[in-house]
Structure 1
Amino acid sequence: MTKIIGAGFYRAIATNRTTWYFAEFFDENGFTQR
């Protein structure tokens, strides 16, 4: 159970970081994904 929660929590952080990274990338190219 702890492993499942930890994996889901890690995926949530990874997803947020990826979204932030792409948002910054698109902002530089004149496109905002927010």
Structure 2
Amino acid sequence: MGAQCDLLGTKPQFGHNVSHSNRRTKRRFEPNLQR
């Protein structure tokens, strides 16, 4: 399921969760789709 906004065309962005010990794991930032 593609979380893409029809109005703005914003797509999920990818980044990292960074813990206190500076470990990085992948995470995605979903666009905040509220209608």
Q: TM-score range by the shorter chain?
A: under 0.3
Tell me the TM-score normalized by structure 2: 0.23
Tell me the TM-score normalized by structure 1: 0.23
Which one has a larger percent strand, Structure 1 or Structure 2?
Answer: 2
Greater relative contact order (Cα < 8 A, sep 6+)? 2
Q: Which has the larger radius of gyration?
A: 1
Which one has a larger percent helix, Structure 1 or Structure 2?
Answer: 1
